[in-house]
Amino acid sequence: MKLLVLNGPNLNRLGKREPEVYGLETLEDVKKRCVALVKEFNAELEFKQSNHEGQLIDWIHEAEDTGVNGIVFNPGAYTHTSVALRDAIASISVPVIEVHISNIHKREEFRHKSLLAAECVGQICGLGTFGYELALRKFLQK
């Protein structure tokens, strides 16, 4: 089992500002917990972050071509704007779970809408960084 966690723009700043919204953990902390979880299941994990839409699209295509079994995707603010990322998800057969650390529905109106969710297996939001582990567990379960 080969899994991929993708993180979009500004998530490299996690733990550095706005702890009341996103918590105190850094993305490196989240990565460590995800790696430990996936290891328990003897599965493989790649954990990536990019601030660039095109890079995220390339990684999504690559996942299909390299036999990835599932993608956990926090698309950051591209969630609310990117038709190109929606099309990229639609263009692969690898299942994608959308994850948000914050509850996007409790926040500004412009964050309520996800352009990507309809192309994903499901969406987890508002459970903090635990959402990443929950999404991975969904793929890891038999």
* From 22, 61, 78, 132, active-site residue: 22
Q: Is 31 in the site for ligand CA2 (CB under 6 A)?
A: no
Q: Does 11 participate in binding ligand CA2 (rule CB under 6 A)?
A: yes
Can you tell me whether residue 139 is helix, strand or coil?
A: helix
Region of 35-43, 54-62, 74-82, 132-140 interacting with ligand CA2 (CB under 6 A): 74-82
Q: What are phi and psi of 79, to 5 degrees?
A: -50, -40
Q: Are 9 and 17 in contact (CB under 8 A)?
A: no
Interatomic CA distance for residues 31 and 25, integer angstroms: 10
- Does residue 111 bind ligand CA2 (CB under 6 A)? yes
> Using CA atoms, how far apart are residues 114 and 112, in angstroms rounded to an integer?
7
- 5 binds ligand CA2, rule: CB under 6 A: no
Task: List contacts with ligand CA2 (CB under 6 A).
Answer: 10-11, 13-14, 16-18, 22, 74, 76-77, 79, 100-102, 104, 111
